[in-house]
Amino acid sequence: DAEGEEEEYGDSGFELTEVKEAACQAMVHLAMQNHENKLAIVRCPGVLEALRDLLADSSHPDSQDTAAMVVANCADNFAAGGGEEAAQIIVATRGILPALGSLVSQSVVSFTDSADRSAGLAAVISLSDHAAIIEKLRSAGFIESLGCMLQSEGRGKEYDSMRAEALMAVANLLLEVHSLKGDHKV
């Protein structure tokens, strides 16, 4: 319950938010380059709904970013495989794409050189590597969200790196890559 979320968790002194963050950090590591773990995470009842809720909670940006990295590592297909099936389960979770889209949009507004807000972008890149879900990502408005990122400039090298990653994701989402128009500086 949202009202009790900041209450202490038992006698440990941890707040529930810290417990959720620690659980997400554990899932980030478990899903990394491990086919069985990434599938176990996305198949576990309630996990994706909890991640969706964390992605949507802008009052805890660290938890948002860590939840996005869980999505990114589960959907990643390069190191251990299993990402395609995990990605399909992820995008089938009600509300997860709008929450992720909102995080990506926030990263344009809230980015500073000292704050890495590209975890949502990493999740989109991992998801966009799977042809079976590209249309769902397009329909959810990710090309437009990422386009805003591509149009923002003059924020420093870290942001330019994030813009280059956004360009990668947009290229994955476009039907025809040659139709991509962007800033030559990216």
State residue 96's pLDDT score. 97
User: What predicted TM-score, i.e. pTM, was given to this entire model?
Assistant: 0.82
10-residue averages of pLDDT along the chain (186 residues): 47 72 94 91 96 92 92 83 89 96 80 60 91 93 84 70 83 68 50
**Ordered DSSP codes for 44-106:** STTHHHHHHHHHH-TT-HHHHHHHHHHHHHHH--SSSS-HHHHHHHHHTSTTHHHHHHHHHHH
State residue 177's pLDDT score. 53
State residue 115's pLDDT score. 45
State residue 95's pLDDT score. 97
State residue 24's pLDDT score. 93
State residue 121's pLDDT score. 87
Residues 6+ apart with CB under 8 A from 71: 51, 55, 90, 96, 100, 123, 126, 127
State residue 147's pLDDT score. 82
